[in-house]
Structure 1
Amino acid sequence: MTSSASLDALLEEKMKFRENDSQQQTDVLQEEPSASAALPPGMQKSQDTSVDDLLKEMSRVPLFMTSLDEVGDDSGENVELEALKALAYEGTRAEIAQNFREQGTELVRTEKRYREAREYYTKALNALKAPPVPPDPEQGPQVVEIDEEAELQKERSIEEVCLVNRALCNLEMKNYGSCNRDCAAALRLNPKNVKAWYRAASACLALDKVAAALDACQSGLSFDSQNTALKSFMTRIEQRRDHLAAVEKTRKEREERTRLEQATLRLALMNRKVLARRTDRPLEMPEAKVALDDPLDASSTLNIPVMILYPVHAQTDFIKQFQESESISEHLSYLLPVPWDQNNEYTTSNVECYIETIEGGLIKAGKKLSLLKLLSSGKLEVVDDLVRVMVVPKGKAAQWIEDFKTRRGKQ
């Protein structure tokens, strides 16, 4: 394997070779040698090495590495690189952790590479938890004086900073739960850490935990009342709190109005003796809705959606607002004749109307009776906010009724 020293020697030999080669080119203008002199072994090796091979050799030296892939020799090992990696774990726990912390901070400050930086902060924190490295027996006994109290304080300081910085990485990566956990761990070490309070407040606000965000901000300001960042962020939190309060107020008012409207409608139906029920499988018709002209006045006009069915020809019409005082004939006057009626069977005077009863039978509906008169008879009901009226030509009514009864009997 080519080491850094051997690579320097190789480059130096190449420079000397180039100087000698320049001198030889000057001499060649005067006379042409009969034979080339042999180069020294080291220079001959350099001369025979291609540019690609030279770059490959250089890539194994940590100084010139551009990638960690395929940087070993034929056996896959790289002594220089492994030595550099080992250096990262030499020294006291505080020194090892500080090394990782600095690498993480550099990634955040210069490149905003939060994911990679978070890994370095994690390595630093893990280094602080690792047991002391036992002495190397080959180096013999060593006497190292360490101020344990000072070393412990240094470790706590590094741990606090790494936790707060890792919280920043998690905040930028939208890992709000992890951010809060790191802030909480940092605050257990130092409750006065304003950065931890600020980042905890940021994570809480991102989750719309406004109360927790306010609490974090207020806690930070209790230690640094003039902190500009916290004061500005407190304003943002208060604005979000007020907005959410307004949204919640609107929601409650809407729910309360809906409740009152429904209660008023039930009262209106009860006063009119109109029966209504809902099924598990209503038609997907959002516009079909029983409603009062004034939703909060039970005495105002009641509007009931009506489906006009032409069962003989499998056709339909829909009346969104059929007022309680209106009759079927009033609506048939503009619905008939229908465009698909080739035989002119559907005229106001030539059709009969039927409505299915609560028991499943049929009742012949008077075309001139008001809808309320029909519904208040106690035999009919509004199903899923809809009344179905079947319109049949008189000449085909008897047969259609028989077919209806047969189908009901089979069911």
Structure 2
Amino acid sequence: MARTEELPNDFGEKFDLSNDPQAQAQAPNAGALESLISQAAPFPLKQDAQSNTADATQSGAAMPPAMASVKQHTADEVLKMMNRSPLFMTTLDETDGEGGENIELEALKALAYEGTRAEVAGNFREQGNECARAKQWTDAREFYDKAIAALKAPAKPQNLEEGSMILEVAEIDEEAEKKKELEIEEACYINRALCHLEKKNYRSCIRDCASTLRINPQNIKAYFRSATACLALDKLDEAVDACSIGLSLDAQNSALKTLSHKISARKTHLEQLERARREREQRKAAEAHALALALKARNIRTRTTARPPSDLEDAQIKLEAPIDPASTLSIPVLLLYPLHAQTDFVKAFRESETLAEHLAYILPVPWDEKGEYAAESVECYVETAAGGLIKAGKKLPLLKILGTGKVELVDGLLSVNVLPKGAAAAWIEEFKRRRKMP
């Protein structure tokens, strides 16, 4: 029962505790109080701020240390210092700001590895699951990495000797613990496979699914995710196998059924593409064979150089009916005006056409200020395979010129030199002189 004590009549209401020796003995001294206040500062005081605080204290206008420790730093500095505390971290800062390690963070890291392997791995697994639910696939994968590494780490000893004392650790049911470890390992592998799948790391996904199936050959998710990764890599046979095994275990699995249809559709599409590619190659080979027969039958010589012209676009020797050697042959022809360094290009000069037919619509040319180039006043010369020149009759069909066996098509092109009649002889002499030069 509580006891009520009556105050004496001479008890003064203005009693001053400061004069009470017993109260003074119990009160902290000024130095201790100042120490407590200084410890309340959340951030370290700078040297100049400490001196300013001391001056302010002497003048009677002291700022509370907690406020002073905040106000002397910029907002960025405060945020940076707060970020070193695990409670306020937004980005990982493993230093104390002065080159040392972050003690609080290291302590938390150490706590993460306290307990059995299953407990440590289970903790990392849960953190990975939280990141996966937030679709933070990279972070989730890292936590699953840590969980798997924890399961593969050596088991901690059950007896820890500390000085003369031996701390007994509770006995662990090894069979139950092993079962729990396998469950966590399976979950971590299949969840990490999902992270790889979302990040398009398909081969890593397949490896993790294989690791899952080594633990549990009936894991449906492993078959689904490995089949999905194989489909993305166009490894269709492997995808079909994974899907088939999964459906043999769960024939009503809608996700596997849908995936199976996608694999079949992709397989059909690729088969069609392959068939079309083979047909193109076969047709291209047949056209090349027909063209070779046509040139041989017409006695037309050809030669390829190490540096063929790259600006011919789609101009090439071709048959009107690509696989019929007897159809009309067309040849690209380059008309050269060597005295003026000018050219004209006929992409498809039919073998039955003459130079006169094409010169009729090409000449006169706009750069011919003297009017020297007209269809009736020019001569045409073609270089022979032996390095000489032959005069090409303007009224001869192209096949007559090429069929002599003296002229050759170089890189699929015939070059014809066009010169005014009055200047042809001098140009021919100059051509011969250049040929004789070493």
Normalised by the length of structure 1, the TM-score is 0.84
After superposition, give the CA deviation of every residue in 1:96-146 in whole Å (9 maximum; x if it has no partner).
11111111111111x211111111111111111111123431261415322
Which residue is 1:324 aligned to? Answer: 351
Compute the displacement of 1:227 (Å). 1.0
User: 1:164, 1:183 within 8 Å by CA — same for their partners in 2?
Assistant: yes
Moved more, 264-273 or 310-319: 264-273
- Equivalent positions of 1:257-272 (< 5 A) are 257-272=283-298
Give the distance between the partners of 2:405 and 2:89, measured in 1 at CA.
91
- Of residues 99, 115, 125, the one that matches 2:123 is 99
1:50 matched to 2:42? no
- Equivalent residue, structure 2, for 1:25: none
Whole-Å separation in 2 of the counterparts to 1:295 and 1:379? 26
What is the DSSP-based 3-state SS (H/G/I as helix, E as strand, rest coil) of the residue aligned with 2:295?
helix
Structure with a larger share of its residues in helix: 1
51 and 209 in structure 1: CA distance in 2 versus 1, 3 angstrom threshold: farther
Q: Which moved more, 1:141-150 or 1:287-296?
A: 141-150
Which of residues 196, 201, 205 is equivalent to 1:170? 196
Q: Deviation per CA, 1:271-295, whole angstroms, max 9, x where unpaired?
A: 2121222222111112320111111
* Residue among 154, 159, 163 paired with 1:131: 154
Cα distance in 2 for partners of 1:301, 1:357 equals 24
- The residue aligned with 1:305 is 332
- Paired residues of 1:183 and 1:197 also in contact (CA < 8 A): yes
Match of 2:142 among 119, 126, 149: 119
1:208 shift after superposition: 1.8
Aligned to 1:227: 253
How well do the aligned residues superpose, as a CA RMSD in angstroms? Answer: 2.5
**Residues 1:324 and 1:132: Cα distance change in structure 2 (over 3 Å):** same
Query: CA, structure 1 residues 78+168, in 2 after alignment: closer, same or farther (shift >3 Å)?
Result: same
SS in 2 for 1:390: strand
Q: Shift of the alpha carbon at 1:188?
A: 1.2
| Contact 2:94–2:102 (CA under 8 A) maintained in structure 1 | no
Aligned 8 A contact 2:190 2:208 in 1: yes
Alignment CA distance shift 1:185-1:337 (3 Å) = same
**TM-aligned CA distance change 1:279 to 1:85, over 3 Å:** same
Aligned to 1:41: 33
Match of 1:84 among 97, 108, 111: 108
Partner of 1:391 in structure 2?
418
Distance in 2 (alpha carbons) for counterparts of 1:178 and 1:224: 25
What percent of counterpart residues are identical?
A: 55
**AA of the residue aligned to 1:102:** E
Deviation at 1:230, TM superposition (A): 1.1
Identify the structure with bigger relative contact order (alpha carbons < 8 Å, sequence gap 6+).
1
CA offset digits 1:253-278 (Å, max 9, x no partner): 11111111111111111221212222
CA deviation vs aligned residue, 1:175-212 (integer Å, no higher than 9, x gap):
22211111111111111111111111122122222222
Q: Quick one: distance in 1 between partners of 2:97 and 2:367?
A: 88
Offset at residue 249 of structure 1 (A): 1.3
Q: Contact 1:293–1:303 at 8 Å: present in 2 too?
A: yes
Whether the 8 Å CA contact 1:59–1:71 is kept in 2: the answer is no
| Structure 1 residues 410 and 212: CA distance shift in structure 2, 3 A | farther
> Aligned-pair distance for 1:73?
9.1
Q: Kindly provide the CA deviation profile for residues 302-336 of structure 1, in whole angstroms up to 9, marking residues without a partner as x.
A: 11111111111111111111111111111111111
Aligned partner letter, 2:271:
A
Residue matched to 2:429: 402
Q: Which runs of 5+ in 1 are unaligned?
A: 1-37
Count of matched residue positions in the alignment of Structure 1 and Structure 2: 373
Shift, 1:83, TM fit: 3.4
CA distance in structure 2 between the aligned counterparts of 1:61 and 1:366, rounded to whole angstroms: 95
